[in-house]
Structure formats: structure tokens, C-alpha cells
Amino acid sequence: MTDAQTPGSPSAGLEPRPHQRITPVPEHSREAALTVAVAAALTRGGVLAHVLQGCAQAVVEHLDAAFARVWTLNEAEQVLELQASAGMYTHLDGPHGRVPVGAFKIGMIASQRRPHLTNEVVADPRVSDHAWALREGMVAFAGYPLVVEGRLVGVMAMFARRPLSDATLDALGAVADGIALAVAREWMEQERDRALSDALEARQQAEEQAAELEMQAEELQTQALQLEEAQVELEMQAQELQQANEELGRGAERMGFMMDSMPQKVWTADAAGNVNFFNQRWLEYTGLSTEELRDWGWQRIIHPDDWDENLRVWQNSIATGDDFQLEHRFRRRDGAYRWHLSRGVAQRDGAGTIRMWVGTNTEIDEQKRNEQALRTSEARYRLVTRATNDVIWDWDLSTDELLWNETLETTFGYSPADVPPIIQFWYDHVHSEDRDRVVEGIHAVIDGGGETWSDGYRFLRTDGRYAEVLDRGIVNRDPSGTPLRMIGSMQDVTERRREEAERERLLSLARTERERLEQIFTAAPAVMAIYTGPDHVVTLVNPTWAETVGKPDAVGRPFREVFPEFAESGLFALLDEVYETGRPYVDPEVTVPMERWESGELEETSWNLVWLPLPAREGQAERDILVHAVEVTQQVRARRAVDAAREAAEDANRVKSGFLATMSHELRTPLNAMIGYTDLLQMGVPEPIPDGPREQVRRIGLSARHLLQLIEEILTFSRLEAGREVLQAEEVDLSEVVQEVRAILQPLASEKGLHFDLHHSEELSSMETDPRKLRQILINLVGNAVKFTEEGMVALSVRRDDGWIVFNVRDTGIGIDPEHLEAIFEPFQQVETERAKRAHGTGLGLSVSRRLTRLMGGELVVESTLGKGSTFTLRLPMRAAPMAQGEAP
């Protein structure tokens, strides 16, 4: 026990222990206890009959007597009168109420003044009523004459149902001596009191007589003499009393001697609590003298940690007179402290005043240690049950009581305080399908002498679901093998089972996946293989690999050896790099020479190739590279053919453009000469010509102009095609441009009877653009409008829209089929209709116009309704933004 656990002080961590603990008196100290109890009864004082009753009771209590009796001697009548009777008979007026000295065994003990002791009551001739003794099971009888200084004062006797030991008989003898002394003292006190009252009565009478018979001097004299005699008598009585007291003192000495010879530690203290006596056992135990221990000297043998509590209890008893009981440690002579149970009882006189204290101290060290060990192991058990996640149960097999720890609540939801503490609760919550098996199993272990049991089953939770549990128990048996209790622990393995199932599911999933992967590997139309280790040994190939690559015995050989024809390709170094860096190599087109089927010929092959390093497999140092390749030899060949054809076509185109440009230039010079001369002829230079030939000259001029326009368009187109058309932006007077266009086309419109409408707002004075190109586009658009319109009008309008100049060319002509709206911007595209006259164009005008527009940073679009007319809209930026170099028109 630690310092914190001195009696009465609160103790940390453990349950408070009862302040007073009842400890059975050890067998060997039965006599000691008797002696103390008798001593206590004797010293308590009061009416003699009560004192004797106390002694008889003590004998019955401490010696387990059937009954005990005390008779005192009526000296005058020589009759023993029953004064006290305890045990199975307590009446005083039965047949043994008055026993003449010499009669029966009691009277015989008195007359012979010798104790009579027997452990064979039934065989004893002195026992008168053998039938009674047999019936009551009496075994032992002990009777003692009560004798003081040769004077018989009474008899003490007892019957017991068990044999009495020598030690008991010795103790009884001492008790008898004590009782005899008490009776004798009582007698002497009675005699003294009687003598005193006699004397007082006599003196009173004498005084009365003296008062009445003053004259009767003689008489008075006589009375005085009588008084003197009475006083002498009184003195004698007093002397006798003195003697009796000395006797009593010697008796007390004998009591001390008795106490000394007791195996128990005994002490006495006066009413104020000053300890004045320690028996021999005490002195031996502590190695100290009475002088060292008396009064408060015993403090030195109390454990310092226990002292405060000890003092408190003892002072409380001194103050209140209450008995006390206390557990504390005393220091043995060797310095070791041992636990004792100490009791103290106040001894009172007839008036209830405390006369003294008597106490005993019983060593309980071993019990205390056992108790402590038990408490520690219980505490540990509680701690363990609290610390574990398992549900711990404790089943008392004799009562079927079953207790759970707190985990029952955290695991299954039941509060241990709320569930009935019986085994039935467990039975009831096991799944009905498991119950019979589980209950039979556990009982087979208990009844079959087994020690351990375990089982798995389903256990109902508070939420109505069943938990999968694993339960284990240990049977505890007494030495004869009888099962006493069973302690077990239950684990909720629902989660574990679920995880196991999940793992199983994932495993089978992985297996399926693996099979699928194998299928893919086998059935894939791509070449697939695994190269292993730094030498890239071909370890696995799929059927496609085997068929396509045409290396029948590749497996098991290094890459370099399988493909010696790759030596020049750089692939060996690349593959090493993939292996060392772990970075994949992807090339959609690797072209290498390859020899298939040992043909002896190198074939130019192309592959869409992936080399993918795989993470190292567990327990394997060498890494794998997954090969995935699709042969693209045919595609590469086809593409190369197409490329070659395109290049040839582009070359031809360039030649054609060059040819056209040259041709156009060569054609323009003679055409200009033709136009010049026809103009002169029409003007009558060098001389006027008649109307008929003049009309023919005009037509020659028109056709020449038309031809020139065509040549201009072709020239522009070829320049655009060749990317040689350059933008030459300048500030342009808009009205000038539109008037020019009008001047050129008004005559044609008028000729066809068409109204020519021109509309442009005055404030639109100028813009920055290439005027030649703008003019060319507008002439083309307005020209088309006139060309494809038979009646109605053509209109040209100009407006501004933010930073843009918007030109609209509208006509009421034949319109364009919606499905041709985009085609007309393609070069050499003309819409074939009855009304359109193909001969009048090249199909290049719109194509050239749109390309020029884009070159100038603008856009050209058309809206048209077949049969109703068309509107072309040209949008150009007000400020020329030259196009980036190389951006195609």
C-alpha cells in the first residue's frame, strides 16, 4: 500500500476502502480475546450480577461454549446461588438455581475445591443427565471452584460441543481466578458498607440518646464506649478493606501477567488516553521498554504516514468515548513496518464514566498484502478491459451472471449498465442460425473439461444489423475441476470480413483484367513484344509480331542479334537510352531496312513505333520494355508517291504561270496598238470614213478592249498565284474612282437600256488603299452587273461603316442559284445558264477580285435571288493594313 492509502485518507485511483474492516480473530488468539473480554467485564464494575453475566457471555462468545454459568456461595446457608447464565440457558431459577455445597457436580466442585474437566461428557459418571448430554451433543465440561485466599466464593462452569484444549482450560482457569477476585472484592465492599452503615447507625443512635439523655452520663459513657468500639471495629474493617485492595492489586498484577503471556498485543490507557500498559508481546515486538512507549511514546512506532489519521481517530475516541478500530503500520524491532488492525474499547463504571481503555493490536500484514495484490490485479483487469477494443465478458458459471465491459457499447451499441447481467442476453443476441451450434460448442468445452473455446458467429447490434464476431473464452476451474467462471473477448470482424471479400473481389477482377490484357496482347493487330534487361532480350512476342516481323526464332535472343540490319539506324542507342532513362520513345514513322523470313533481301520498312519502359516487377532487378509497333510501310510508300505527284504538279503550274505572264505581256503591246488605231479611225484620222466601215472599226476596238481586259485578268491572276502581286497603298479620292468606273460602264448600260444609279455621300472624300486594284474590282463587279442584267438597273453605292468603306453593287439581273454562290469565286468558274453568255468571260473576274480584296485587308461577299438580281458587297478598311508577308490572298 502506498503512502496515500493510510486509513481514512482518500486514495487516488482505487475505490475507497471501508473505514472499519471486520477482521476475524485468528484461531490462536481465541484465549487472548477471552482474557481481554473478561478483563474488560471485570474492570467495567457495577452490579456484581451484571459483571458475572458479562464474564459468562465472554466465555460463551470466545470459547464457542454451549453455555456458561457462575454461582456464588451463600456462606450462611452453604448453598451455591446461580448469578449468571449465558448461552443456550439464560434463566436463573431452574433446578440449578440453588445448589447445596456437595450436591451434584457443581456442589462437588465447591466442596472439593478442585476443578472438574472432561472432554467426554457422555462417559462422565458425574454428569447426572446423560440422555440430555447425548441429545444436546455436549462433548466437554469445565467447572472451576472460585476461591480467593482459601475462601470459597462460588463456582464457574461451562458445557461445550467441542473438546477443550489445554490452552483453553488454562485460560478458563485464569478467568475463574479473575471472577473469584471480583466476587471477593464485592463481598468485602458489601461487608465494609454494612459495617460502615452499622457504625453510622450506632453513632446516630448514640447521638440521639446523648441528646435525649444528657443527664444519663453513664449511659452516655457507655454509648461513647460503644462508639469507640464501633470505631475500632470500623478501623479493623478498614484494615480488612485495605487488605482486600492489596489483594485486588495483586489480582491486577496477575491480570498483567496473564496479558503478558498472551500471544496478542494488548495495551491499556487511562481515561485521558495516556497509555500506561503494554503487554510483553508488545515489548518483544518493538524491542522497546514500557517506559519508552508509555503515555505518547508509542508515536515513535507508528508509520509517519499513518500518524495523523491515527491521532485523529484516537483523540476522537478519547473525546467521545466511542470504540475505535483502525488499520495502521507499526514498526517492528528490525525496523520493518507491518500492518495491524487495532481496536480500543472504553471501560466504564456503573455511572457510565470512562475508567480506562483496553486495546488489542492484531497483525494483518499478510491479509493486507493479499488484499492489495487483489486490488492491483483487479485494477489492472479493469484497465485492460478498458484499454482493449475487444468486448470482454465475464461469466459466473455458478450463477449464470454475465458482465460486459464498456466496449459492448462502442462495438455493438448496448450500454453494459442497461443490459441484463445474465447469460441469456448473450444467447438471445446470437443469430438464430448460429445459436444452436455456438451454444452447444461452448457448453461442450465447459462440460468436457476443456480450457479454451473459440467460435465465429453473428451477433445482433442495436441498429438491427448483425456483426460478424470472433469470440474466444477461457474456462476457470477450481482444483477439483469444477468450472467456476469463463472470461472471454469478442472481436467485431465485420469490417475485416468485408475487407477480405473486397480483396477477393479485386483479385478476381485483376485476374479478369489480366486475362483480357492477355487476349488483347494475343489478338492485337499491332506488333507487341517485351524486351527484357539491359540487352533487351526478346522474352515475349504476340502472334502479330511473329507474323509481321518475320524473325521466327527471336525469342530468347538480344535485340541486336535479332535485328543486325538496324546497326546503321541508331535504334540500338535509342533502345539503350529508353532502358536507362525510363522515358518512352514514340515515333510515328521509323523507316529501317529489314530482312524478313531469312530472305537475304533488305526491305525498306516503316513503323509507327512505341517503346514503353515498364516499372520493374517485384523481386526482379531487370526492367522490361513493351514494344508496340504498327507497320506503315504501305502508307509511307503511298504518301511518298502522292508527294512526288504534287511536286510535279506544282512545278507544272509554275511553268504555266510564267508562260501566261509572258504571253499576256507579249499580247498586250499589239492589242494596245490595235485599240489606238481603231480609236483614231473612228475619230476620222487621218480622214473620215463612211458610217458602215466606221461601225465595223468600232466593233474591232470593243473586241480588242475586251481581249485586253481578259489578258489583264489573267495577268493579275498569275501574279496572285505566284505571290507576286504587291499592295501599293495611297490616299485615294473616292468620288474620282467611282466617277471613273461610271464613265467606263455607263455607255454599256445605256446601250442595253439599263438605268445606272450611282450613290455616294459627299463627306466620304478619301480612303487609303491601292487605287488600281480598287478600280479593277469595282469595274469587274459593275461590269458583271451590266453583263448579267437585261432590264431594270444597276446601282453602285458607297458608305462608311466605322473604320470601313462599304461598296454595294446591285442589279436586277438573272441572279445566281444558291448552290453556285461560293463556286463563282473559284477561278475559271462560270454558271452555265441559257441567258449567261459564256463567251463574254474567263471565269477569273470574281476569283481575282476576292483575292485582291483579301490582299487589301477586306472582304467580298454576295447575296442573290435567282431571277431577281444580285448584290455584291465589298468592305475595305479605311486605312490600309498591309497583309503579313507570305499570307496567301
For ligand ADP, the binding residues (CB under 6 A) are: 780, 784-785, 788, 811, 813-814, 816, 824, 829-831, 836, 841-847, 870
Angle at 472 between CA 467 and CA 473, to 5 degrees: 130
Question: Which runs of consecutive H residues, i.e. helices, occur in 262-399?
Answer: 280-286, 290-293, 304-320, 365-387
In the complex with ligand ADP, which residue's Cβ is closer, 168 or 849?
849
CB atoms within 10 A of CB 119: 16
Distance between CA atoms of 829 and 843, rounded to whole angstroms? Answer: 5
In the complex with ligand ADP, which residue's Cβ is closer, 671 or 785?
785
Q: Which residue is nearest to ligand ADP (CB)?
A: 841
Helices (H) and strands (E) in the chain, counts: 22, 28
In the complex with ligand ADP, which residue's Cβ is closer, 369 or 772?
772
Least spacing, CB of residue 592 vs ligand ADP, in Å: 52
In the complex with ligand ADP, which residue's Cβ is closer, 42 or 710?
710
Asked if residue 79 lies in contact with residue 101, where contact means CB atoms within 8 angstroms, the answer is yes
Distance between CA atoms of 633 and 181, rounded to whole angstroms? Answer: 139
In the complex with ligand ADP, which residue's Cβ is closer, 471 or 811?
811
Residue 500, Cβ density class (10 Å: 0-12 exposed, 13-18 middle, ≥19 buried): exposed
In the complex with ligand ADP, which residue's Cβ is closer, 139 or 844?
844
In the complex with ligand ADP, which residue's Cβ is closer, 836 or 883?
836
In the complex with ligand ADP, which residue's Cβ is closer, 155 or 816?
816
Least spacing, CB of residue 836 vs ligand ADP, in Å: 5
Distance between CA atoms of 61 and 284, rounded to whole angstroms? Answer: 29
Segments of 461-584 assigned E as strands = 466-477, 483-492, 527-532, 537-541
In the complex with ligand ADP, which residue's Cβ is closer, 609 or 782?
782
Least spacing, CB of residue 748 vs ligand ADP, in Å: 13
Least spacing, CB of residue 607 vs ligand ADP, in Å: 49
Asked if residue 716 lies in contact with residue 851, where contact means CB atoms within 8 angstroms, the answer is no
Q: Say which amino acid occupies 609.
A: L
Least spacing, CB of residue 712 vs ligand ADP, in Å: 12
Q: Nine-digit cell at 106? A: 457443581
Q: Say which amino acid occupies 37.
A: A
In the complex with ligand ADP, which residue's Cβ is closer, 7 or 858?
858
Residue by residue, what is the 3-state secondary structure of 629-677? Answer: EEECHHHHHHHHHHHHHHHHHHHHHHHHHHHHHHHHHHHHHHHHHHHHH
Q: Say which amino acid occupies 73.
A: L
Least spacing, CB of residue 577 vs ligand ADP, in Å: 59
In the complex with ligand ADP, which residue's Cβ is closer, 118 or 870?
870
Least spacing, CB of residue 645 vs ligand ADP, in Å: 29
Helices 633-682 and 691-721 meet at what angle, rounded to 10? 150
Asked if residue 729 lies in contact with residue 855, where contact means CB atoms within 8 angstroms, the answer is no
The residues, ordered by sequence, that sit 6+ positions from 422 with a Cβ below 8 Å of its Cβ are: 400, 401, 402
Q: What b/e string do you get for 273-307 counting C-beta neighbours within 10 Å, with b at 16 or more?
A: bebebbbbbbbebbebebeebbeeebeebbbebbe
